[in-house]
Structure 1
Amino acid sequence: MTLPEQAPEIAAPAASAMLQPDPAETRKGVAAALGAYLLWGFLPILFRLLDSVGAVLIVAERTIWSLVLLAAIIGFSGGFAEVRAMLADWRRLRVIALSAVLLVANWLLYVWAVESGQLLEASFGYFINPLVSVAIGMVLLGERQNRLQTLAIMIAVIAILIQAAGLGKVPFIALGLALSFGFYGYIRKTAHAGPATGLFAETAVVAPFAMAFILFDMIGNGPGAHADPTLMLLLVLTGPATAVPLLLFAYGVRRLRLTTIGMFQYLAPSIQFLVAIYLFGETLNELRLLSFALIWLSLMVFSYDGLRRRSRGGGADGLSGARAG
């Protein structure tokens, strides 16, 4: 059975439960999403410090150290019974495996982009990502937009087209990042999995492959970064740097509309855009600057709509709500 065939039966209970959103839960979702995207915005700095290690090894290490941290969190909260039940259910395991593959693909592409001096294109990918989330929300979850939200999306589309013109080429990195994370967000929204247990199960699925690569690399190339205390410390830090924002993201995405999550996703690439220019010295041309300004304009329109609905007391859409459908 394919994922789209599974989605209606998985999403129906979640959708009905979210028709009357709890304002307190919505605020928690907003705070979690904000924290996740702030952390993701500054994450390239850590990967740039590890540029001598190599993208595949970094992803393998962050997988293992994320698993260690998550095991401690789940052990403290007593969630291993849920993990065992999840991994014993073949249908749920297939969904978890698919989300794990999408997550690792996103990690690999992103780390490689940072290491190869293409953070601007990576930020472009996360500018596209909200549109992917909106499309998934509309097609698969029945979410709809009002006029101001539609206007915000149209401005973002124009901005993204200008960004592509500024790049002067097909943005394969950007498209890969947007599609992989967009569908990852959809699966995490519809899967029967808690934030910590779901992420632990995803990480556990790919951990054997990560450990195999680390051992293979050490046999072939020696201890390498593992013999350098500074690099080893940075590799260990990739665990919390990976797990914490993903936990916040998973917490937030289950309490907010995908369109709301989509607009939050402008925050991280905006930070990355500035990091690429002012810290990494990547080149910015006029077209890309214009695109950046339009992206922020679209976010302002969407935010205004959310605040307007909240002040009228009748809307859970936008930044203030989590109503699905």
Structure 2
Amino acid sequence: MRTPEDARDSRKEAAWGVAYGIAAYSSWGVVPVFWKQLRHVGAVELLAHRTVWSLLSFVALTLAAGQRRALGAALRDRRVVAAMAATGALVSANWVLFIYAVAVGRVLDASLGYFINPLLSVLLGMLFLRERLRPAQWLALGLAASGVVYLAVRAGSIPWIALGLASTFGVYGLLRKVAAVGSLPGSTLETSFIAPLGAAYLAALHAEGTGAAGRADLRTHLLLAATGIVTALPLVWFTNAARRLSLTTVGFLQYLAPSGQFLLAVLVYDEPFTTAQAVSFAFIWTGLAVFSADAVLRARRSGRTSAS
């Protein structure tokens, strides 16, 4: 039987979890502001800096969290190493695509991709983890797919930035879910595969007499160094939230990120918001509403069942 002290501790943990979740997803929602400051640096070069500085940040955080042994155990597991090599490639593709979208003024497309991502994750769970979809989830997926197809037909082209971001992050999440490794050791390991490539690319640029390193102003150098912590800190906050909250709550908080990106694109960066995009977003938002309502109802039913 739970005591009043246990209940207070549970509420306190949940409150901290919500705070961590809001911090993580809100930071991801406004991060285009940071990347806009570096739009004078090429997308590939920026990705190279991000991998190098992220590795340094993840190593420091892993050691500070006392997870050195967990990292060593992951390095000795061939399956984990192979999975993290794959996730490293996927997260690199996601990063460079997002950086490119911000640099060319297509934050709205990036927002669309991250709105699609939760529903794509459900589909991947069905295909690869044998998770069964409920009728409401099928409806949510159908609405989201209709929105993407409508936008593609009206635009005369596939919304490749949105689909690229959603698919790379969706498959990344799937692999990280099934890999037997913790968040920080896993992130450290996956960036250790891509950081040497980034360092080699930066060294080649420097040898050619190009690139920002050693040639840009102090502000640019400080911003490049900050790419590591900008990448690592939200992940730590997310991990702390996930440990304290239900998946339903985490799922709701997830929509803060693309919502922030959407508002930035339309209200701050004056990106055009066409009728076709409005219809497409309406389909996807309706799908998310159906998906979220179904999750809440299921959680409430489970709670009543547990209580009885």
Give TM-score, length-normalised by structure 1. Answer: 0.78
For residues 39 and 144 of structure 1, do their structure 2 counterparts lie closer, same or farther at Cα, with a shift above 3 Å needed? farther
The alignment partner of 2:158 has SS state of: coil
1:33: how far off? 5.3
Moved more, 132-141 or 79-88: 79-88
Moved more, 257-266 or 173-182: 257-266
Mapping of 1:174-323 within 5 angstroms?
174-222=162-210, 224=212, 226=214, 227-249=216-238, 265-314=254-303
Structure 2 unpaired stretches of 5+: 1-9
Tell me if structure 2 keeps the 8 A contact 1:42–1:275.
yes
1:275-318 Cα shifts (integer Å, max 9, x gaps):
122222221111211222333333333333333334444489xx
1:44-63 Cα shifts (integer Å, max 9, x gaps):
11111100011112111111
1:176: how far off? 1.9
The residue identity in structure 1 corresponding to 2:278 is L
Q: Which of 164, 167, 171 in structure 1 is aligned with 2:159? A: 171
Structure 1 unpaired stretches of 5+: 1-21, 317-325
For residues 159 and 252 of structure 1, do their structure 2 counterparts lie closer, same or farther at Cα, with a shift above 3 Å needed? farther
Which one has a bigger Cα radius of gyration? 2
Aligned residue in 2 for 1:11 = none
Distance in 2, Cα, partners of 1:103 & 1:109: 10
Tell me if structure 2 keeps the 8 A contact 1:129–1:265.
no
Distance in 1, Cα, partners of 2:18 & 2:135: 22
Aligned residue in 2 for 1:111 = 99
Q: Which of 30, 34, 37 in structure 2 is aligned with 1:42? A: 30
1:245-293 Cα shifts (integer Å, max 9, x gaps):
3344556678999998777654422322221222222211112112223
Q: Does 1:121 align with 2:114?
A: no
Q: Percent identity?
A: 42
Aligned residue in 2 for 1:4 = none
The residue identity in structure 2 corresponding to 1:84 is G
Distance in 2, Cα, partners of 1:126 & 1:97: 23
1:225: how far off? 5.2
Report the count of equivalent residues.
295
Give TM-score, length-normalised by structure 2. Answer: 0.82
Distance in 2, Cα, partners of 1:27 & 1:155: 33
The residue identity in structure 2 corresponding to 1:209 is L
Tell me if structure 2 keeps the 8 A contact 1:309–1:315.
no
1:28: how far off? 7.7
RMSD: 3.1
Moved more, 220-229 or 120-129: 220-229
For residues 85 and 312 of structure 1, do their structure 2 counterparts lie closer, same or farther at Cα, with a shift above 3 Å needed? closer
The residue identity in structure 1 corresponding to 2:288 is L
1:92: how far off? 1.7
1:190: how far off? 0.8
Tell me if structure 2 keeps the 8 A contact 1:127–1:265.
no
Q: Does 1:80 align with 2:68?
A: yes
Aligned residue in 2 for 1:153 = 141
Distance in 1, Cα, partners of 2:49 & 2:160: 25
For residues 253 and 174 of structure 1, do their structure 2 counterparts lie closer, same or farther at Cα, with a shift above 3 Å needed? farther
The residue identity in structure 2 corresponding to 1:87 is L
For residues 25 and 97 of structure 1, do their structure 2 counterparts lie closer, same or farther at Cα, with a shift above 3 Å needed? farther
The residue identity in structure 2 corresponding to 1:208 is P
Distance in 2, Cα, partners of 1:315 & 1:112: 47
The residue identity in structure 2 corresponding to 1:236 is A
